[in-house]
Amino acid sequence: MEHSEWTPASWRQLPAGQQPDWPDPHHLEQVQKQVASLPPLVFAGEARALRQRLGEVAEGRAFLLQAGDCAESFTEFSADRIRDKLRVILQMAVVLTYAGGVPVVKVGRIAGQFGKPRSSPTETVDGVTLPSFRGHNVNDQHFSSQARTPDPDRLVQGYHQSAATLNLVRAFTKGGFADLSRVHAWNQEFVGSSLEGRRYEELAHGIERALRFMRAIGIETESESHLHTVDFWTSHEALLLGYEEALTRRDSLTDEWYACSAHQLWVGERTRNLHGAHLEFLRGVQNPLGSKVGPTATPDEVLGLCERLNPEREPGRLTLIARMGASKVVEVLRPLLAAVRDAGHPVVWACDPMHGNTYTAPSGHKTRHFDQVLAEVAGFFDACRAEEVWPGGLHVELTGDPVTECLGGSDPVADADLQVRYETICDPRLNARQSLDLAFLASELIGGRPY
């Protein structure tokens, strides 16, 4: 397979892990045909622009912030939720840019993050066994036979929700909401009174002073688009390959293939098998790509990912997203960083401090402790520094809502609070305050002065 010709469907010759057991393959085929006839969600030129920006990250000149839901929801879907999520990501980016002193490439886990891999294909509750929840593109999280039966029509709904989300994100980022003169307003709408809020307020004052200074010395701030709009890209795990194939289109400018469901696609920890269908699909599309890398990955496996997904060794093509767990990140990451560095592969190394730190609280809620999230980020920076590799980015699960899903933080969420606002349909997310706190810590680790 290694050397045979790639087509958008060549993955079908190989074993594909984590695919739902669709009850009616004919129905699935009809839906995939329908999706193939719908317009692309993103354009090849945009994916190329992101690849270029990520090239700057690979070269140590910028930082990647990739963030959003573990799984987007068909039901918890509203303009306010999208706005609040975007706002917390923009606030984190402002902190990292201003306090960390680096340009930040902003990528959402948004507008398409609807397919989930699961550790077990089934779930048993009180003696009843049903298919696991696999994301709203497949089934529903409620525990009934009807809800858990995979339904291909959901793929069409996922496509339309992605389009509507992307439309609003484009409007917010280009239409005034992301204007730097609003850094203050974002905070007032948020929690100006909290510790993170006050820290952020101070930083917003600094930005205002800098803008006033620029105007005073004659810089035309009105016409400088960087001050008024933001580039924001979309990403999701490329899990449901039939859906991805249906949205894979040939770019009329370059004649190359692009996955047009999002700007960046990543392969998950459970499907990054070097000889599997997911890598076969991804190697042929020209989008920037990501691969999760967990604690069992060997240097040879990681070099295999680099060779397979980025044989031309182009900076920006491949982001390796380490999700090791706080207790072992330094020990397991260092040999991988060294191997990739010594082989001369120009990757972005990003830290996902969420997926290696998940556990079940006594109340039964799946959670993560904020201290462990911070500890993994700090360990990631230590490992990168020790190997002289640029710590290129953060990949986190968050929401703009004041949820109580992850424990700890500066206004701590305690065990007993988990039940108060536990709203995720999959993994526990940082709330807005925990997210902002994380951005301040990361900005200090990048080398900015503490705020």
**Considering the rule CB under 6 A, would residue 70 count as an interface residue with ligand PEP?**
yes
Site string for Co ion, 358-377 (x = CB under 5 A): --------------------
Q: At what angle do helices 79-98 and 153-174 cross, to 10 degrees?
A: 50
**Considering the rule CB under 6 A, would residue 323 count as an interface residue with ligand PEP?**
yes
Residue 401 or residue 427: which is nearer to ligand PEP going by CB?
427
Q: Which residue number is nearest to ligand PEP in terms of Cβ?
A: 268
What's the rounded Cα separation, in Å, for the pair 38 and 261?
11
CB 431 within 8 A of CB 404: yes
> 245 contacts which partner out of ligand PEP, Co ion, none, CB within 5 to 8 A by kind?
none
Residue 106 or residue 109: which is nearer to ligand PEP going by CB?
109
> 391 contacts which partner out of Co ion, ligand PEP, none, CB within 5 to 8 A by kind?
none
Q: Which of 142, 266, 192 is nearest to 432 (CA)?
A: 192
- Count of residues near Co ion by CB under 5 A: 2
**Considering the rule CB under 5 A, would residue 425 count as an interface residue with Co ion?**
no
Q: At what angle do helices 195-216 and 79-98 cross, to 10 degrees?
A: 70
> Out of 8, 68, 108, 117, which residue is the one contacting ligand PEP (CB under 6 A)?
117
> Out of 84, 151, 196, 269, which residue is the one contacting ligand PEP (CB under 6 A)?
269
Residue 269: CB minimum distance to Co ion, A: 10
Residue 26: CB minimum distance to Co ion, A: 32
What's the rounded Cα separation, in Å, for the pair 212 and 206?
10
- Count of residues near ligand PEP by CB under 6 A: 9
Q: At what angle do helices 25-36 and 153-174 cross, to 10 degrees?
A: 30
Residue 270 or residue 334: which is nearer to ligand PEP going by CB?
270
**Considering the rule CB under 5 A, would residue 110 count as an interface residue with Co ion?**
no
**Considering the rule CB under 5 A, would residue 430 count as an interface residue with Co ion?**
no
> Out of 199, 292, 369, 433, which residue is the one contacting ligand PEP (CB under 6 A)?
292
Residue 355: CB minimum distance to ligand PEP, A: 4
Choose the binding region for ligand PEP from 98-106, 176-184, 198-206, 263-271 (rule: CB under 6 A).
263-271
Task: Provide the token pair at 384.
Answer: 């990168």
Residue 340 or residue 350: which is nearer to Co ion going by CB?
350
Residue 395: CB minimum distance to ligand PEP, A: 8
CB 321 within 8 A of CB 297: no
DSSP 72-132: --SSS--HHHHHHHHHHHHHHHHHHHHTT-S-EEEEEEBSS------SSSEEEETTEEEEP
Residue 28 or residue 267: which is nearer to Co ion going by CB?
267
Q: Given its phi and psi angles, is residue 386 left (phi above 0), alpha (psi -120 to 50 degrees) or beta?
A: alpha
In sequence order, the 6+-apart residues with CB closer than 8 A to the CB of 292 are: 266, 267, 268, 269, 272, 321, 323, 352, 355
* C-alpha dihedral, 303 to 309 to 313 to 314, nearest 10°: -140
- Which 3 state secondary structure label does DSSP give 186? helix
> 268 contacts which partner out of ligand PEP, Co ion, none, CB within 5 to 8 A by kind?
ligand PEP
What's the rounded Cα separation, in Å, for the pair 147 and 133?
9
Residues engaged in binding ligand PEP (CB under 6 A)? 70, 117, 268-270, 292, 323, 355, 427
* Residues binding Co ion (CB under 5 A): 70, 427
